[in-house]
Amino acid sequence: MKITVDKPVLENILLHLQPFLEKKDTSQITSHILLSTDGRTLFAKATDYEIGLSMQTNSLNVEEPGSVTANGKKLLDIVRILKDEEIELELERDTLHIRQKRSNFKLPTYKSSEFPSFPSTENKPNIAVNSHILIESLKKITPAADTNNPKFELNGALIDIRSNQINFVSTDTRRLALVHIDSQSDHELSIIVPKKAIIEIQKLFSENIEIYYDNTHLIIKSEDSLFFTKLINGKFPDYTRIIPKECQRSITLPKSAIVTAIKQITTISNDLKLTFQKDAILFESLSDDNIEAKTAVEIENGFDVPFILAINSRYILDFLGQINTPDFILEANESNQPFVLRENNFKTIVMPIVI
């Protein structure tokens, strides 16, 4: 293989592929990127077996088609220090040469035939959902997805496809985030997508995508890239049981004022107590030390009797960080029962702190 390609083009591809590399063990072929060309198009792939990304570009000159692997991190390090000019890549005797004028670098390679294969979209059903809505929905529920929970199914998000709607759900057992969108489907299914994959999807795609799935993989295609992730094999909790069927108390709150008040209290403690009075909400720190923080937001809420909620501030701030409206709704029953934060089709159910 022998090609020339502009540095910005190659560098952009290598940057996007970095999260998909095996970085702990560089003896593995999964620490390598596969570069291949059919004479017109350059294909670049990276995978750690769990997730993978393939990108392509026609912005290159091909002198000799072929394929080569090289350590993805080292190749990026080399490309970064070169000038914004054409770079030549050539495979010679199992060694990749990277050249630019009088600069020359060499990297060892593996056999291209040993590089892991990517799943195919052929004969796989697809999910009919607007790409912008998909990304926005995943973004809203990402903070509530757990990371290192021994129950693997909680380290991801549920995409629950029903006949007339799709629900996106995540939970870390202390809160549950849910976005529902209207969508007609001939097939009903539930898949659990790992949190790492959810984060990468948000970085990679914005619009014009096709989404495919089977029992093992979720695959997303755009004009110049293909992403896949293995799905989590497990049973997601029955989230419908956690959502309160009805709430006795409901109040519309101003986002900006609530965020300001909470951030004042979190200088002392992340846990706080909210006391809803008839004409104000009092915010107080919950701290074991002899340190105290208090503030209030004046708001008519119609509570004839003071109502108290003790909460982890991060759960509310995560929710408010994902909404675009100036107001949101808080719904609650009793102080020791789950309460709901809601904005249009997005809601977060939070377990209060028992005091």
Residue 147: φ, ψ to 5°: -120, -50
Same domain, 267 and 344: yes
Q: Give the residue among 316, 262, 309, 270 at the shortest CA–CA distance from 291.
A: 270
Tell me: do 178 and 277 sit in the same domain.
no
As a whole number of angstroms, the distance between CA 346 and CA 348 comes to 7
- What pLDDT sits at residue 280? 93
Is residue 118 classed exposed, middle or buried when 0-12, 13-18 and 19+ CB atoms within 10 A define those classes? middle
pLDDT in tens, 310-322: 999 999 999 999 9
* Within a domain: 325: yes
Question: For position 71, which CATH number holds?
Answer: 3.10.150.10
Q: Is the dihedral of CA 54, 58, 60, 61 positive or negative?
A: positive
Residue 23: which region, alpha, beta or left (left: phi > 0; alpha: psi -120 to 50)?
alpha
> Can you list the pairs that 93-97 forms with residues at least 24 positions away whose Cβ atoms lie under 8 Å?
96/68, 96/70
Both 108 and 142 in one domain: the answer is: no
At residue 325, the pLDDT reads: 96
* Location of structure tokens 């069927």: 245
Q: How many structural domains compose the chain?
A: 3
Phi-psi region of 263 (alpha: psi -120 to 50; beta: other; left: phi over 0): alpha
Same-domain check for residues 197 and 150: yes
Q: What is the DSSP letter of 126?
A: B
The three-state secondary structure class of 269 is: coil
Q: Is residue 210 part of a domain?
A: yes
CA distances from 272 to 167, 180, 196, 267, 316 (A): 31, 30, 30, 11, 11
In a domain, 43, yes or no: yes
Rounded-to-integer distance, Cα 202 and Cα 135, Å: 6
Task: Identify which of 217, 219, 211 has the alpha carbon closest to the alpha carbon of residue 183.
Answer: 211
User: Which of 114, 141, 158 is at the close of a domain?
Assistant: 114
How high is the pLDDT of residue 83?
Answer: 96
Establish if 79 belongs to a structural domain.
Answer: yes
Q: For the purposes of burial, counting CB atoms within 10 Å of the CB of 40, is it exposed (0-12), middle (13-18) or buried (19 or more)?
A: exposed
Q: Is 236 in the same domain as 277?
A: no
Confidence at residue 282, expressed as pLDDT on a 0 to 100 scale: 95
Q: What is the domain range of residue 193?
A: 131-221+228-241
9/39 same-domain check = yes
Q: Where does a domain end: 72, 88, 114?
A: 114
CA distance 352 to 355: 9
Model confidence, pTM: 0.88
Same domain, 233 and 265: no
Query: Is residue 119 situated within a structural domain?
Result: no
Q: What spatial distance separates the first Cα and last Cα of the chain, rounded to whole Å?
A: 68
Residue from 281, 312, 306, 309 nearest 296 by CA: 281
Quick one: 85 and 137 in the same domain?
A: no
Residues 58 and 93 in one domain: yes
DSSP letter for 26, please.
T
Same domain, 164 and 192: yes
Report yes or no on 31 lying in a domain.
yes
User: What local confidence, expressed as pLDDT, does residue 182 receive?
Assistant: 86
* β pairing state of 95-100 and 86-92: antiparallel
Q: Does 137 lie in the same domain as 233?
A: yes
Tokens coding 175: 């809160």
Domain-terminating residue out of 60, 84, 114: 114
Is 272 found in the same domain as 212? no
Strand partners, 56: 43
Taking a C-beta distance cutoff of 8 angstroms, is the pair 121, 191 a contact? no
The answer to whether residue 212 sits within a structural domain is: yes
Q: What is the pLDDT along the chain (355 residues), one digit of tens a residue?
A: 999 999 999 999 999 999 999 988 888 999 999 999 998 999 999 999 999 999 999 999 999 999 999 999 999 999 999 999 999 999 999 999 999 999 999 999 999 999 999 999 998 888 877 788 888 999 999 999 999 889 999 999 999 988 888 999 999 999 999 999 987 777 788 999 999 999 999 999 877 788 998 889 999 999 899 999 999 999 999 999 999 999 999 999 999 999 999 999 999 999 999 999 989 999 999 987 778 999 999 998 777 889 999 999 999 999 999 999 999 999 999 999 999 999 999 999 999 998 7
| pLDDT tens digits, 267-320 | 999 999 999 998 999 999 998 777 899 999 999 877 788 999 999 999 999 999
Q: Is residue 355 part of a domain?
A: no
3-state SS, residue 350: strand
